Structures are given as C-alpha cells and as structure tokens.
Amino acid sequence: MAEFVKVAKRSNIQPGEIKSFVVDTEVIAICNVDGEFYVIKDECSHMDYPLSDGILEGETITCAHHGAEFNVRTGEVLSLPAVDPIETFEVKVEGDDIYVLMEDY
C-alpha cells in the first residue's frame, strides 16, 4: 500500500540543489526547482549511476557520468545516451516538511 513518507525539510534543500535520500530500500533524489520540489529515483536509466551527482538547471538534470539529461518533473529523457525515462514520485509539502509517496511502505 502506498503512503506519504516524511523524507526531508524544505529548508535543507536550496533552489537549484539536489539531495539524495534512502527510504526503505529505495534511493531517491529531491530536486528544488525555484522552490518547487520534484522527486526522482536517484539512478540514471543509462547506467545506474546516481543522478544526484549531476547538475540541475531548471527542470533538467544532467548525469555527471555520461551526460544524459532528464526532466525532473516528468522523468522524460531529453538527451542521449539514455533512452528510457527515469521514475518520478509524487511529492507534497506541508510547512517545512517534504513527503514522498512510496509504494509498499
């Protein structure tokens, strides 16, 4: 059953910043895009490297290892060498708390 899990404080993730978190067995990354928070699986679909090592510019995250680009809002692939989208998670913010919808939690 899916449920929202408190993962982080919004005050700890500044605009343009990416932070990685382990929730149960899932590694996720929270991206702050101009005060809006998006959550992705912290794994490039090209070669399983952590996307949190990359660069966030607007809604685009660039993998530090091979340069694949993704939209953090939709998971869409924006450039090669990746061809598969990345997983995204539903997020809600209440006050300073960031919650992520996790399956089977």
- Domain locations in the chain as residue ranges: 3-102
What architecture (CATH level 2) is domain 3-102?
3-layer Sandwich (2.102)
- Which amino acid is residue 89, in one-letter code? F
Tokens 């998006």 belong to which residue? Answer: 38
61 — pLDDT class (breaks 50, 70, 90):
very high
Tokens 């998971």 belong to which residue? Answer: 75
Global confidence as pTM: 0.95
Read off the pLDDT of residues 8-49 as tens digits, 9 standing for 90 and up. Answer: 999 999 999 999 999 989 999 999 999 999 999 999 999 999
Q: In this structure, are residues 85 and 44 in contact, taking their beta carbons and an 8 Å threshold?
A: no
Tokens 């660069």 belong to which residue? Answer: 55
